Homo-oligomer: A and B are copies of this chain.
Amino acid sequence: MRQAGRSLPEYRNLRTASESILDVLRRPEVAAEITLQPVRRYGVDAAILYSDIVAPLAAIGFGVEIHAGIGPVIAEPFARAADLDRIRPLEPDVDSPWVAETVHILTSELSVPLIGFGGAPFTLASYLVEGGPSRTYARTKALMWAEPQLWGSLLERLADLTAASLRAQVSAGASAVQLFDSWVGALSPDDYRRFVLPATRRVFSSIDDLGVPRIHFGVTTGELLDQMAAAGAEVIGVDWRVPLDAAVARIAAAGGAAGGTSTVVQGNLDPALCLAPWPAVAAGARAVLEAGKAARAHVFNLGHGVLPETDPSVLQRLVALVHGEEVDGVLAADPGADLTAGPRR
């Protein structure tokens, strides 16, 4: 559950308002602790490295800051060919040695696998071009259509940046990777095919030799799932808008044309459902588990990041439910029961 930390008091205690996540990432002990917190609290089956998708861009000195309540902010957005030189190759050992140090700490502490974390080329490009978060991605798309060659070069550099970052995480000990193309669902299938798929394939093929499972995720990607499945990942993350059985069917139907074979899915409980009364959460989780049976394998997860206002005890019960523990028996009777000491940890 990405961003699970945001709901945890122990996370908020560690973070100060004035400190950027990019600064926190440079302190391996703290970054490792934040990665561990949700694992410790919830007993989930894997950890995901605490990071931010723009971290590699910050590491090569592109000039990106993260402002609280806004997100990444780029003072001088990407606008022309000359800006390509600002995206130099990442040398993980030199540019961001703290990442490997964090992974080292984690692999020695964790009893579950660690998932590495990377931003996909389109979503990274959207921040670079817009200068920050966007609702329409209008500038990004305009650049893509107006200057397809420049766009292609930009995405190629970003693909290499992310591949280098993921490679370093795996070399340091991560057992899997997840590539977040959070905002690519803003594109039509045709535009995805022409302007994004080649770069996404480039990321995955660059790390093919590592032999670790690769997860690929974005939001509002219902019409892109077949292409995403054909891009190289073993696992396709699905947001809550698409029932998992429909996602599996759509990927399978396109299998021949798109070359997609991945029918392992990850997802997809609506994160907002975790704000509802427990019976609604439980019913939703059971429906997700049921729909997930259509897949060759199913990694239960939320359909997007944890909402900050989520009550940690709900996530705790959710994990227990997915693990098949006696949720309704044990926890309904004792909402304060400490499931972190449960059988799966």
Contact = CB atoms under 8 A, between A and B. Distances in A.
B243 A137 contact: no
Contact of A137 (B136, B139, B187, B272): B272
Nearest to A192: B241
Nearest to A224: B241
B141 A275 contact: yes
- When all copies of this chain in the complex are counted, the total is 2
A11 interface: no
B287 A190 contact: yes
Given A243-B223, A270-B141, A272-B136, A280 B190 contact: no
Contacts of A190: 243, 287
Contacts of A145: 273, 275-277, 280
A222 interface: yes
A71 to B, nearest CB: 11
Contacts of A138: 271-272, 275, 307, 309
A189 interface: yes
A246 B254 CA distance: 13
Interface string A272-288: 11011100100000010
Interface in A18-44: none
Contacts of A187: 241
A129 to B, nearest CB: 12
Contacts of A280: 145-146
A225 to B, nearest CB: 11
Contacts of A243: 188-190, 223
A142, A243, A271, most chain B CB atoms within 10 A: A142
- Leading 6 A-B pairs by shortest Cβ distance: A145-B276, A142-B275, A141-B272, A145-B280, A138-B272, A222-B222
